[in-house]
């Protein structure tokens, strides 16, 4: 469920071998502040691409000319073309050197003969932020960025998590522009930034099943003595015909109520003392004297249990989730160089970063790698000069292509270097499809998260809920004149009262019961570690399409290689097409091969009203279905159709997910969403799922976003609520095992200055 202003990310649910969900957690990843990369078409279908940095394109209205500085007009429309000569200084006479009177010039000597306009600091208020915007560790920044901070806290009965925050602070930033004698216009953007944010370190989910049971027990007491027949004895003596065995009642296991130690107090054939024999013939069972213990006295509190007792016939199920975060501080240096001549423009972008984790793995390896990467060079694009004046109408697709490149999400950049190129606009361009495409190709090196999952040893035990009592008992004792009979089998020898002279025997049995709870505690744990990640990526961005490619390697303990591509196209009559594929070697539950696609149609009724119809699928080919040695299937594939109506301040959508069409699919779900913005700074939203067969589901929820001003980074408060259900099937009594929870999230965002886009 996407509320305006934040992204709610539901972690995939985990299922045990009997296909019951173990977990679902709510984590707010980042503030939505989409850079002007490619305007996203609003759709109910989820983003099925393997990253969160892609976006869809739409057919734009002819934009106004975004002026980068007083010297150059950056435009996407041929109608905005202006003669460059009106903005450029006349060619200087080398025989008459002039002092540079530009107060913001970087030189204070005679005008450099190599420049028409020498390098100077461009006024930031006259630079269009769309030309300086770039993503920095999932946060878009521009030359206007000063600082921004977001903080989120989640409250839930079953989940305990630390506060999540993400902050960016500008250390230094400036944009330098110049125009050379051979008509190359250059804009050199430099900046350094410090970012501090919390990242998940460990996630633990503990589920506890408490099943009422009735436990059976047994107490068995026996002895058999008679005239001795063993070697070294005579018939006038009395011997025992069974070994002495006694349960040590102090050794009863407190978890399972079973004896852990049985003491042997006498041997078979041992001569019984007269005083011991006399004591044993007293009423009830007598196990001999303290000086001579004779007979068997065994106690088994637990000989088996059956479901239910007088206190309850219903299983209690409890779930507890705990998320621990750690701090990550990043110092980044950014440089973007743009050059333009009379026919084309080029862009070079370099980002260096150094991240320190307060508590994390691989500290020495990651530190050494990051330190070495700081020595890698800046990317300075090459461009040939011309006798013709520089073209002021730089193709906007150049900036879109640079920001359309696929960057690994939730990662930290160590070194990124890319080059882009695009032909500039000319007066003969009269339609959108005539605008030349741009391309951008880059290398990205950084640290990406890999999650290690495991089920820890489960804890199982019995918990008494009542005293032990005797359900039934019976017993007898006597000698030759009684009707008591007993057979004692020891090893291969058998002794019976029918064959022993002058015998005396005791036989007592006591059947016991006790009401207990059978408690099973399962612990599922996730640990996040960051590993070096090298990626090569690029794209071709046109006014109505985007084609990307990407490949890379993640140097985790099990090295992961991947290769993928995706394509997006919009038409002038409102059609949207998208598809892609990515393949992994050594896939896991987070990085796995996928094929996805969707198609949509926008029907416009007026400027403020439209209807979107869309359908799509995502096929997770080889997502790992095991955690350790345990089969744990988590759905990832889906097929869906959706419709959304936007009418003024109101938006209504309906999405249906079809289960069972693709392997490992989500179950059937019908989702209805509603939002209204009575004023520009206030949005109310809600959703309901009348049909939801998934094991972890949210059936309804609501949210509110209030912004102090209608500007980016204005103080914003967001409050969201959702009802969450975890379905663990049925217990042994046929009762539904459901865990209900209400999750409340409060987000606050603030920053300076206003909208950088």
- What pTM, to 2 d.p., does this model score? 0.78
Confidence of residue 78 (pLDDT cuts 50, 70, 90): very low
> In angstroms, rounded to a whole number, what is the distance separating the alpha carbons of residues 136 and 413?
8
> In angstroms, rounded to a whole number, what is the distance separating the alpha carbons of residues 224 and 207?
51
> What's the Rg (C-alpha) of the chain?
39
Could you report the per-residue pLDDT of 664-712, keeping only the tens digit for each?
888 999 999 999 999 999 999 999 999 999 888 999 999 999 998 877 7
> What pLDDT does residue 111 have?
65
C-alpha torsion angle, residues 57, 59, 62, 65 (rounded to 10): 10
> In angstroms, rounded to a whole number, what is the distance separating the alpha carbons of residues 403 and 133?
8
Could you report the per-residue pLDDT of 307-359, keeping only the tens digit for each?
999 999 999 999 999 999 999 999 999 999 999 999 999 999 999 999 999 87
> What pLDDT does residue 362 have?
64
Q: Which residue has the tokens 């999230």?
A: 745
| Dihedral over Cα of 108, 113, 119, 123: its sign | positive
What are the φ/ψ torsions at residue 94 (nearest 5 degrees)? Answer: -60, -20
Q: Does the structure show a pLDDT above 90 at 133?
A: yes
Could you report the per-residue pLDDT of 37-67, keeping only the tens digit for each?
333 333 334 343 334 333 222 222 322 323 3
Q: Does the structure show a pLDDT above 50 at 246?
A: yes
Residue 524 tokens read as 């599922």
Q: Does the structure show a pLDDT above 80 at 433?
A: yes
Can you tell me whether residue 6 is helix, strand or coil? strand
Could you report the per-residue pLDDT of 87-118, keeping only the tens digit for each?
322 333 333 333 333 444 444 444 678 899 99
> What pLDDT does residue 34 have?
27
> In angstroms, rounded to a whole number, what is the distance separating the alpha carbons of residues 499 and 493?
13
> In angstroms, rounded to a whole number, what is the distance separating the alpha carbons of residues 115 and 102?
13
- Calculate the CA 188 to chain-centre distance: 38
Mean pLDDT throughout 741-747?
A: 95
Confidence of residue 72 (pLDDT cuts 50, 70, 90): very low
Mean pLDDT throughout 416-437?
A: 92
Q: Does the structure show a pLDDT above 50 at 431?
A: yes
Mean pLDDT throughout 530-549?
A: 96
End-to-end CA distance of the chain: 25
Confidence of residue 589 (pLDDT cuts 50, 70, 90): very high
C-alpha torsion angle, residues 16, 21, 22, 27 (rounded to 10): 140
Could you report the per-residue pLDDT of 175-203, keeping only the tens digit for each?
999 999 999 999 999 999 999 999 999 99
Contacts of 625 (CB under 8 A, 6+ apart): 631, 632, 633, 634, 664
> What pLDDT does residue 87 have?
30
> What pLDDT does residue 182 have?
94
> What pLDDT does residue 54 have?
33
> What pLDDT does residue 582 have?
98
> What pLDDT does residue 44 have?
37
Residue 376 tokens read as 């890698």
> What pLDDT does residue 701 have?
97
Can you tell me whether residue 404 is helix, strand or coil? helix
> What pLDDT does residue 711 have?
77
Confidence of residue 620 (pLDDT cuts 50, 70, 90): very high
Mean pLDDT, the chain, integer: 84
Tell me how crowded residue 137 is: count the other CB atoms within 10 A of its CB.
24
> What pLDDT does residue 23 have?
27
Could you report the per-residue pLDDT of 384-423, keeping only the tens digit for each?
999 999 998 999 999 999 999 999 999 999 999 999 999 9
> In angstroms, rounded to a whole number, what is the distance separating the alpha carbons of residues 563 and 551?
4
Could you report the per-residue pLDDT of 449-495, keeping only the tens digit for each?
999 999 987 899 999 999 999 999 999 999 988 889 999 999 888 99
> What pLDDT does residue 16 have?
29
């Amino acid at each position: 469920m996407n509320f305006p202003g934040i992204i709610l990310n539901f972690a995939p649910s985990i299922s045990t071998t009997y296909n019951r969900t173990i977990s679902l957690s709510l984590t707010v990843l980042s503030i939505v502040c989409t850079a002007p990369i490619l305007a996203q078409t609003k759709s109910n279908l989820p983003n099925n691409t393997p990253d969160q940095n892609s976006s869809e394109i739409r057919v734009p209205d002819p934009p106004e000319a975004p002026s980068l500085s007083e010297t150059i007009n950056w435009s996407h429309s041929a109608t905005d073309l202006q003669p460059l000569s009106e903005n450029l200084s006349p060619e200087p006479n080398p025989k008459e050197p002039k002092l540079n009177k530009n107060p913001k010039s970087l030189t204070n000597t005679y005008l450099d003969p190599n420049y028409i306009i020498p390098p100077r600091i461009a006024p930031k208020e006259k630079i269009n932020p769309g030309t300086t915007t770039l993503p920095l560790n999932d946060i878009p920044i521009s030359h206007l960025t000063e600082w921004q901070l977001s903080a989120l806290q989640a409250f839930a009965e079953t989940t305990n998590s630390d506060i999540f925050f993400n902050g960016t602070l500008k250390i230094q930033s400036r944009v330098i522009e110049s125009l050379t004698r051979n008509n190359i216009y250059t804009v050199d953007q430099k900046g350094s930034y410090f970012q501090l944010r919390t990242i998940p370190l460990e996630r633990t989910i503990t589920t506890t099943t408490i099943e009422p049971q009735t436990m059976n027990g047994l107490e068995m007491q026996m002895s058999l003595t008679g005239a001795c027949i063993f070697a070294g004895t005579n018939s006038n003596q009395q011997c025992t015909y069974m070994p002495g065995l006694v349960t040590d009642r102090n050794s009863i296991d407190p978890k399972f109520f079973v004896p852990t130690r049985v003491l042997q107090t006498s041997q078979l054939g041992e001569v019984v003392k007269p005083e011991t024999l006399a004591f044993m013939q007293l009423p009830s069972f007598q196990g001999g004297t303290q000086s001579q213990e004779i007979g068997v006295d065994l106690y088994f509190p637990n000989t088996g249990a059956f479901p239910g007792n007088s206190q309850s016939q219903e299983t209690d199920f409890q779930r507890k989730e705990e998320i621990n975060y750690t701090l990550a501080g990043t110092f980044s240096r950014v440089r973007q160089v743009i050059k333009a001549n009379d026919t084309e423009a080029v862009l070079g972008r370099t980002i260096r970063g150094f991240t320190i984790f307060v508590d994390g793995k691989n500290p020495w390896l990651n530190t050494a790698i990051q330190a070495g990467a700081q020595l890698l060079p800046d990317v300075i694009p090459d461009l040939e000069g011309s006798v013709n004046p520089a073209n002021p109408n730089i193709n906007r697709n150049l900036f879109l292509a640079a920001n359309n490149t696929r960057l690994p999400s939730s990662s930290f950049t160590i070194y990124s270097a890319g080059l882009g190129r695009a032909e500039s606009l000319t007066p003969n361009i009269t339609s959108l499809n005539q605008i030349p495409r741009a391309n951008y190709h880059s290398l990205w090196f950084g640290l990406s998260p890999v999650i290690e999952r495991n089920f820890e040893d489960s804890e199982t035990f019995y918990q008494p809920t009542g005293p032990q009592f005797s359900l039934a008992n019976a017993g007898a004792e006597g000698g030759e004149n009684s009707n008591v009979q007993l057979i004692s089998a020891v090893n291969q020898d058998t002794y019976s009262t029918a064959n022993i002279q002058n015998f005396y025997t005791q036989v007592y049995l006591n059947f016991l019961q006790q009401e207990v709870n059978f408690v099973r505690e399962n612990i599922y744990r996730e640990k996040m570690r960051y590993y070096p990640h090298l990626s090569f990526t690029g794209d071709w961005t046109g006014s109505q399409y985007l084609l990307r490619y990407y490949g890379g390697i993640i140097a985790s303990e099990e090295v992961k290689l991947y290769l993928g591509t995706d394509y997006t196209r919009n038409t002038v009559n409102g059609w949207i097409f998208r598809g892609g594929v990515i393949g992994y070697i050594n896939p896991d539950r987070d990085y796995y091969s996928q094929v996805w696609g969707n198609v949509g149609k926008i029907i416009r009724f007026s400027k403020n009203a439209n209807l979107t119809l869309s359908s799509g699928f995502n096929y997770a080919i080889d997502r790992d279905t095991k955690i350790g040695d345990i089969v744990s299937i988590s759905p990832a594939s889906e097929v869906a159709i959706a419709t959304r109506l936007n009418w003024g301040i109101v938006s209504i959508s309906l999405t249906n997910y079809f289960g069972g069409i693709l392997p490992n699919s989500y179950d059937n779900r019908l989702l209805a969403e509603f939002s209204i913005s009575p004023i520009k700074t206030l949005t109310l939203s809600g959703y309901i799922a009348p049909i939801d067969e998934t094991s972890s589901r949210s059936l309804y929820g609501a949210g509110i976003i209030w912004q102090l001003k209608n500007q980016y980074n204005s103080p914003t408060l967001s409050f969201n609520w959702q009802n969450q259900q975890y379905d663990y099937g049925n217990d042994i009594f046929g009762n539904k095992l459901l865990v209900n929870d209400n999750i409340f999230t409060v987000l606050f965002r603030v920053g300076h200055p206003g909208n950088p886009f």
